[in-house]
Amino acid sequence: MDTCYPKNTSATGAGGNEGSSAESPASLLAALLGMDVEQISDNALITSFGLDSLGATRCSNQLKLHLGIQVSQIEHLGAMTIGTLNEMLAQALGAVKD
């Protein structure tokens, strides 16, 4: 898969709100890696799912475009987890509401 764009799946469990079809960091990563969102755990390093440098760049771009959070390729390849991305998204959404 060429882009980090979510499949038509429900974003439940890791990285999503139960019953929601909204995009989430987990759904974006799952789509990029050709996985089901249920396979993405909040506390595992993103690189443990097979994300490489090109995928990290694509996912960084899609996170910014679709969710409004900015994460560098280097951050993705370091100690980044879905849980951390969820926290960043919550902060970004909180800033928009304030």
As a whole number, the mean pLDDT across the chain is 81
Q: What is the pLDDT of residue 98?
A: 59
Confidence of residue 78 (pLDDT cuts 50, 70, 90): very high
> In sequence order, which ranges of 1-98 are alpha helices (DSSP H)?
25-33, 53-62, 73-77, 82-97
Tell me the percentage of the chain whose pLDDT exceeds 90.
Answer: 69
Q: What is the pLDDT of residue 95?
A: 75
SS3 string, 48-63, reads HHCCCHHHHHHHHHHH
pLDDT digits (tens, 9 = 90+) for 20-51: 346 899 999 999 999 999 999 999 999 999 99
In the chain, what are the domains? 25-97 (1.10.1200.10)
Q: What is the pLDDT of residue 28?
A: 94
